[in-house]
Amino acid sequence: MENDEKSMDECSHFGRAINRLSGIIRYTLNARLAANGVFLTGEQCRLLGYLKRRENDGECIYQRDIEREFGVKRSTVSSILANLEKSGYITRSSDPEDGRIKIVTRTEKGKSIDMVMSENIELMEREITRGMSEEEQQLFLGFLKRAAENIINEKESDSRC
């Protein structure tokens, strides 16, 4: 634990500290899921969570929606979906109105891990915010959102030049 504290103290750069926290979260969640027999990457879990939320709203989910939501290239999404499909967590089918468009649906296997994923996410949220007041949690979340917006806005202004 002492080494972890020292490593975090040495992270005086925001990007480095955020990257370290992200890695710790990713590693911990992956290990907990694996302990429950779920061998998925963080990206695959986030994608399944996104599908769950959209399905709960009664929406059809298209591959292009996933590309937009996650801000990644078509090839990246195709690769993640192919692995999820191969493992039996999702199916992809052609849209009846336009065969070029793929509809993505979770299978029963994909739905069966909802509880394990939710429990692990809730546990991680409690661990992240342990010792923080409600006000501190809201401030922390606000700072993270603002940092993301700053980078997005800067990226957009760079692309206009």
Q: SS3 for the chain, per residue?
A: CHHHHHHHHCCCCHHHHHHHHHHHHHHHHHHHHHHCCCCCCHHHHHHHHHHHHHHHCCCCEEHHHHHHHHCCCHHHHHHHHHHHHHCCCEEEEECCCCCCCEEEEECHHHHHCHHHHHHHHHHHHHHHHCCCCHHHHHHHHHHHHHHHHHHHHHHHHHHCC
Is residue 150 one of the residues assigned to a domain? no
Tokens 């996933």 sit on residue: 66
Residue 129 is assigned to a structural domain of this protein: no
Residue 10 has what pLDDT? 58
Say how far apart CA 19 and CA 48 lie, in whole Å: 23
Residue 106 lies in a domain: yes
Residue 46 lies inside a defined structural domain of this protein: yes
Distance in angstroms (rounded) separating the CA atoms of residues 106 and 53: 11
In a domain, 80, yes or no: yes
Domain assignment present for 59: yes
The answer to whether position 91 is within a domain reads yes
**Domain enclosing residue 85, as ranges:** 40-111
Residue 28: burial class (beta carbons within 10 Å; 0-12, 13-18, 19+): middle
Tell me the per-residue pLDDT of 127-161, one tens digit each, with 9 for 90 and over. 999 999 999 999 999 999 999 999 988 877 766 65
pTM: 0.71
Split into its structural domains, the chain has a count of 1
Residues of the chain with pLDDT under 70: 1-11, 158-161
Q: Is residue 25 part of a domain?
A: no
Q: Which domain CATH number covers 96?
A: 1.10.10.10
The pLDDT, as a whole number, for residue 160 is 61
